[in-house]
Amino acid sequence: MIDEMKINAIQREKYLSEGYWKDITLLDCWKESVKKYSEREYVVDDRGNRYTYRQMDEAASKVAAFLRKQGVLPGDAVSFQLPIWSEFVVVTIACFMTGAVAHPIAMSYEEKELIRSMNLTESKVYFGPSFFHKTDYASRILAVRERIPSLSCVVIVGGEKPEGNGVLAFTEIMDQADTEKQEIRRTGEDLALILCTSGTTSGTKGVLLTHNNIRYSEEVFTRELGLTSEDIMFMPAPLNHATGFHHGLIAPMLIGAKVVLQQKYRCREAIDLMNRERCTFSMGATPFIYDILRELENGGGELPFLKLYLCGGAPVPGYMVRKAWSFGILLCEVYGSTESVPHVFVRPDEALELNGTTSGRPVEGVQIRVVDDEGNDVPPGVPGEELSRGPNVFVGYLKDKKITDSALDDDGWFHSGDLCVMDEAGNIRIIGRKKDMIVRGGENLNSNEINDRLEGCPGMGDHTVIGMPDDRLGERICAFAVPLPGFEHLKLEDVTGWLCQNGVPKRFWPERLELIDRIPHTGSGKVKKYLLKEELEKRMEGPERND
């Protein structure tokens, strides 16, 4: 059982007294939706699966019965590494039913990351695909199983089930008749979810979120956006991210709406799917809407039902807002993080007026501060670090008090590490990051970890990586390197070829290489990355070059 939570006592009483936090769990919310919207569709995916609220309840009940037989108790973690499939939702609801803590794992996690994350959560059960997009997930989890002592059962979803003790096919669970429901009494202040996120250290962090955190964030989200049970969400973002989990699964569930899932984002297919299912709103990182608008602009049809797109992960430029509106789509920027799930956004009725000039203002119940390096509030118009405090803010990192205390202070403020400017009206604009991250297509990539992977690359002396601006992905990875003697013509393909040979995941590969005489450092040895960003800007303005 995971019980280390950091909650400010004064803020807790405030949230309870003001009704932001309640003694209501996500299971309670689920039961209410099943009762009210029984025969309405809840989840549709692009693999042909369709579930009404009643059908999802029946399927999840079977998985819940299975989990209880496996000895999963309230407060235990259940790990699942699943694509954007309807089965992800089935397992999630089953966790609510058993009182377990859902622990969705990124599809990109390999052996080392699986071992670390599942040993931290002490998971007894793992759900994953047999094979997905050229990766043998079944062989991967079985290869590390012995190094995860708590893991007693592996469930394979789709495809062939490998032989072995403690290995089941998901279809075997679905074929069982046992749907007996046991009343599990949890509270709104209990843990519901562990989401993994990249941080300023080399490892990932497990973000702890309670039922109250999640329920409140999505209640205020749907209310302030004016969403109803008649709306249909299109969700192409990974469900193990806050965007997919909170806004793709929980928000529709709370209001009796439907969510349409696409397992692998392909622009043309996404447009066809949204039209077929009559999707009215969507949310994702900038690349999704960038591709959609480009496809529509090039004569790729229309999206007559899509009225609202919420865009996060990078600031939204004004030209993109205008282009979206030319197709009848209101494009609204949102801002937040896994620790403080999108708590700032541009309201739809202000989207055209604000026109990409702001990230928005906070939702009800959430406070924002902008502070300098000493923690003092700065005046409007002056850059500083964004801090947030509210009912949505996480309650700590899994088994890491030191990092928790560095990010979540004793007064309940989450220090985002992001730089912003606040105007007189309370709107903020995100302008950069204090923490050294590269946000590529909405995914946080730790630049220190990328840099470490480059150590030992033949011909590469002193080196570092920075984020390179990109219209589609927000940022790409650019490496600066001092070539060693004899390697003055080091090429990008030389570097990526070496990384490939050494088994470095492709998401850590630089996408541009710039050779330089000297990496600029401060007196304390830190890289002056702002100088490299200026240098890159100059080079990108010059003649095109092939690395």
- pLDDT at site 202: 40
Q: Give the C-alpha separation, 275 to 258, whole Å.
A: 14
Class of domain 7-21+210-392+399-435: alpha beta
Q: Whats the size of the chain, residue-wise?
A: 547
Structure tokens at 185: 């009494």
Q: What does 74-104 look like in DSSP terms, one character per residue? A: TT-EEEE---SSHHHHHHHHHHHHHTPEEEE
Task: DSSP letter for 105, please.
Answer: -
Domain spans of the chain, in order of start:
7-21+210-392+399-435, 26-39+49-186, 437-541
Domains 7-21+210-392+399-435 and 26-39+49-186 alike in fold: yes
The pLDDT score that the predictor gives to residue 529 is: 84
Going residue by residue through the chain, which has 547 residues, state the pLDDT in tens, using 9 for 90 and above: 677 899 999 999 999 999 999 999 999 999 999 999 999 999 999 999 999 999 999 999 999 999 999 999 999 999 999 999 999 999 999 999 999 999 999 998 999 999 999 999 999 999 999 999 889 999 999 999 999 999 999 999 998 888 877 899 999 999 987 766 777 889 999 999 999 986 433 467 999 999 999 999 999 999 999 999 999 999 999 999 999 999 999 999 999 999 999 999 999 999 999 999 999 999 998 878 988 999 998 877 899 999 999 998 777 888 889 999 999 999 999 999 999 998 999 999 999 998 888 999 999 999 999 999 899 999 999 989 999 999 999 999 999 999 999 999 999 999 999 889 999 999 999 877 776 778 888 887 878 779 889 989 999 998 999 999 998 898 999 999 999 999 999 999 999 999 999 999 999 999 999 999 999 875 545 678 888 999 999 998 865 444 4
Distance of alpha carbon 18 from alpha carbon 1, whole angstroms: 29
- Give the per-residue pLDDT at 94: 97
Q: Which CATH superfamily hosts domain 437-541?
A: ANL, C-terminal domain (3.30.300.30)
Tokens of 86: 């309807």
**Residue 1 confidence (pLDDT):** 64
Nearest to 272 by CA among 243, 247, 300, 240: 300
At 546 the pLDDT is: 43
Which residue's entry shows tokens 């220190």?
Answer: 448
* Amino acid 224: pLDDT: 96
pLDDT for 544 equals 47
Q: How far is CA 420 from CA 106, 307, 429, 435, in A?
A: 29, 28, 5, 13
pLDDT at 200: 35
Burial 483-518 (b: 16+ CB within 10 A, else e): beeebeebebebbbebbeeeebeeebbbbbbbbbee
- CATH for 26-39+49-186 (3.40.50.980, 3.40.50.10860, 3.40.50.150, 3.10.580.10): 3.40.50.980
Q: Are 330 and 350 in contact (CB under 8 A)?
A: no
What pLDDT, on the 0 to 100 scale, is given for residue 272?
96
Q: Is the CB of residue 460 less than 8 Å from the CB of residue 483?
A: yes
User: Rounded to an integer, what distance in angstroms lies between the CA atom of residue 416 and that of residue 409?
Assistant: 11
**What is the reported pLDDT for 455?**
87
